[in-house]
Amino acid sequence: MDKLDENYYSKLLELQQLDFALVELTLFLDTHPNDMQILQQFNQLAQQRQHVAHEFEMQYGPLLQFGHSFSKYPWQWSQTPWPWQV
**Model confidence over 28-79: pLDDT tens digits?**
999 999 999 999 999 999 999 999 999 998 998 888 776 666 656 666 666 6
Element (H, E) at 25: helix 6-31
Distance CA 22, CA 37 (A): 14
Contact 53, 11 (CB under 8 A): no
What's the rounded mean pLDDT across residues 19-32?
94
Whole-model pTM: value is: 0.76
Distance CA 55, CA 28 (A): 28
Comparison of pLDDT for 70 and 5, the residue scoring more: 5
